[in-house]
A and B are shown apart, each in its own frame.
Chain A
Amino acid sequence: MDVLERNVVTVTGPADGLPLVFAHGYGCDQSMWRFITPAFADTCRIVLFDHVGSGASDASAYELDRYASLGGFADDVIQIGRKLDLRGAVLIGHSVSAMIGALAVTAAPDLFDALVMVSPSPRYVDEGDYRGGFSRADIDELLETMDRNYLGWSEQMAPVIIGDPDRPDLSDELTTSFCRLDPRIARHFARTTFLGDNRDDLADVPVPTLVVQVARDAIAPVEVGEYVHARLPDSELVVLDSVGHCPHLSAPTATADAIRDFLDRRVS
């Protein structure tokens, strides 16, 4: 199957614009970028996609072996980049996709000039002096919570009617469906994400990197953001005065501003 079809890749914006590749985090799909892509739509080439197993991607392409580590997902991103013949692109990854992005830019520096990591964590489970924030038992409890919600999740996927007078740009979409995922794939992806350890990959990132952290994020606390920033060879850390793990959803303006500022200064 064609890579662009497999990952539901959408490309918008001026053909000669700076290519921005947005990689969504665990638990949702490309729709989570919808609040900040408008800020870049006029000047940048916006590339959105769903990871295999998320959103509207081809779930049958989800191979347990390939996606048992983040490398499989990084390889998909590289395939997309090559298929689109990207040059000098910026990879913007949220949560687990921040590390997926790190792996991708390291393996394919010809495609990418910069990396933006939104709420990253290279390892979620505490080990020795390292504080990821969680224990192994916590991750098991996450999986149990997912199992408890297995039944109801398919009902969540029923399309909802958007009718928000404050968001006229959404008025064309009468029904849509966000964050679709197959609960069984989500379970496997959760294990890959939350039981992985990619701390050693930080030092290899060859491009300038922006780390965007949220001040009160239980999943990726500021300490982890500082850890990431310290180990990246060339990075900046911005801490947003906000709450939660998804600043691109809860504080889209501040997030977009931080990214634009970084792009203006560090990316030609």
Chain B
Amino acid sequence: MADVAEPAVDGAPVGQVVTRDGTIVAANAEFNDVVGRGRQDLLGQSLESLLPAGSQIYLQTHVAPLLALQGRVDDLAMDFARPDGTTTATLASVRTDAGGYDHWAFLRAPGRARFEAEIQRGRRVAEHTKERLTMIGQLSTGLATAVDLDGVARVVAAILGIANDGRSGGVVWVPGGGEAMVPIGAGRGPSVDSPPPTRDPESPVVRAFTTGEVVVDADIEVFAVPFGPSSPPDGVVTVSLSAVRSSLLTDMLSLRDADDAGVALVADDALLLTTLAGQVGQAVHRAQLYQDKDWLLGVAAHDLRSPLTTIGGVAEVLPRLMGDRLHERERDLVESIVAAAKRMDALIEDVLVVSSSESGSLVLDRRMVDLGALARDAAAAHEQRAAAKQIDVEVVVAAADPMCSADERRLRQAVDNLVGNAVKYSDRGATVRVMLTDVDDAVRLEVIDEGQGIPADELPNVFLAFNRTSAQPTGGESSTGLGLSIVRRLVEAHGGTVDAASEVGVGSTFGFTVPRHPDPDGE
């Protein structure tokens, strides 16, 4: 043993063994104790023969290559079977010296098993929680874009991986009571394996859960979401119920989630599920408000129009009434009141279009309309403004048949908007071309400008309401950001589609295609 750099030392606090090619060449007294064998029994034995067969495989397949490649391995859990039938749990480390000897150290770790079990459990709970958090994140994102209660139900069902077939098992009440019941999931009740909720069976929450019935209590809005992600088919299920009282979460039933490790949910899980419940509740609330908003918008717009008519009407009549008593400067002021009233009226009209199309109440008065004539009218309507910027507006009717069934007023508004935009965003001396072409059973109108163009990353959003691109009107004109979204709504109300193409510094092409005749199945 003269060539062994550091022999095993008796009295060391760890079991020490030195091996060469797996054979024990030195062992200290502590190691003898660990394995329950005398030193003479150990010398010349292979270290792995002291381990159970499964551990031997582990040693040869996981540990030995790593030791050969990097010269050390730490923190191995190795259990030695003693001749008396007991097991010694150890934490082991090993390193290879320059002479090719492997120096092993074994620290007894009697608490290691329990400690590991706790950490394993903690790790599983953490992974569990991480999954929940991911789910909540997805839920928040999904719900933020859901604008109707059906949408909320679909999003919740999709994310929680449960069938949205409308059967009982989970219902959502909008705070305010009973008006918006959204069946969320299939009737996955508790499985025979999961214990019943540990609450008063007469509580409305428990009744809702156990019977699947819709339960309304005067004080409590019951909010139940069956919560069963990736449950195995033999029916282990996780359910969350929370009682929402005046939008505050006040209650939470105990839960049982039996995954294959039998992990019961802990307080942190309950907190997460509370958050989940709150998120869904808020989203439902928001969806309700959103629907109300449209109605409010419509009402406000109509109510605004009435005094506006008075303002504009009186202002128009005033110069005639006043006659010579109105001097030129005052006449100009009155004319600006009339112009402002008209602008405001146009804006209210835009808002009403947006509001009514969104709420589905946009009614079309259809007749056969000559789209070419609308294009020429639009060019004429913007002639003065275009001339002021020395912009040429050409109309090219290349369609054999420019007629289509449409609400003339609405479609005129759409064409007008596009031509107006093109003029607004074009530079001096540019050309704006309005082209009409046939496309099968539809007519296509394109407005092609040589304006500043729209950056590619902004292009997908141009038809969204209140969207403003980085492009600026070239004549100091203002923009509400509603124009293109109105074009889209009006065209889509006719069963058509809008599109846009653009290149910065070159120009843009805005177009729409409308079917000649309405779809008999309705739009």
Footprint of B on A, CB under 8 Å? Answer: 25-28, 31-32, 34-35, 95, 133-135, 137-153, 155-156, 160, 162, 164, 166, 178-179, 186, 194, 216-219, 242-246, 249-250
Contact, CB under 8 Å: A244 / B22: yes
Q: How far is the CB of B47 from chain A (nearest CB, A)?
A: 11
Q: How far is the CB of A241 from chain B (nearest CB, A)?
A: 11
Chain A hits for B23, CB < 8 A = 243
Contact, CB under 8 Å: A138 / B69: no
Q: How far is the CB of B293 from chain A (nearest CB, A)?
A: 43
**Could you tell me the dominant secondary structure of chain B's interface residues?**
helix
Q: Given contacts A152-B76, A179-B66, is CB(A245)–CB(B52) below 8 Å?
A: no
Contact, CB under 8 Å: A145 / B119: no
Contact, CB under 8 Å: B54 / A179: no
Contact, CB under 8 Å: A134 / B75: no
Task: Give complex CA distance A242, B66 in Å.
Answer: 18
Chain A hits for B71, CB < 8 A = 160, 164
B72 at the interface (CB under 8 A from A): yes
Q: Given contacts A145-B58, A146-B58, A245-B64, is CB(A156)–CB(B75) below 8 Å?
A: yes
Chain A hits for B60, CB < 8 A = 217-219, 244-246
Contact, CB under 8 Å: B56 / A218: yes
Chain A hits for B22, CB < 8 A = 216, 243-244
Chain B 44-72: CB-based contact to A (< 8 A → 1; otherwise 0): 00101000111111101110111011111
Contact, CB under 8 Å: A246 / B68: yes
B338 at the interface (CB under 8 A from A): no
Contact, CB under 8 Å: A156 / B73: yes
Q: Given contacts A152-B75, A219-B61, A244-B21, is CB(A28)–CB(B56) below 8 Å?
A: no
Q: Given contacts A178-B66, A179-B65, is CB(A150)–CB(B54) below 8 Å?
A: no
The 4 closest A-B CB pairs, nearest first, are: A141-B54, A27-B61, A142-B54, A138-B53
| CB-nearest residue of chain B to A152 | B75
Contact, CB under 8 Å: A151 / B120: yes
Q: How far is the CB of B276 from chain A (nearest CB, A)?
A: 27
Ordered by A's residue number, 11 sampled pairs between the chains whose C-beta atoms are within 8 Å are: A32-B69, A134-B57, A138-B57, A144-B54, A166-B98, A219-B56, A246-B65, A246-B68, A249-B64, A249-B65, A249-B68
Contact, CB under 8 Å: B119 / A178: no
Chain A hits for B64, CB < 8 A = 244-246, 249-250
Chain B hits for A244, CB < 8 A = 21-22, 60, 64
Task: Give complex CA distance A216, B46 in Å.
Answer: 10
Chain B hits for A32, CB < 8 A = 65, 68-69
Q: Given contacts A134-B53, A134-B57, A245-B60, is CB(A152)–CB(B21) below 8 Å?
A: no
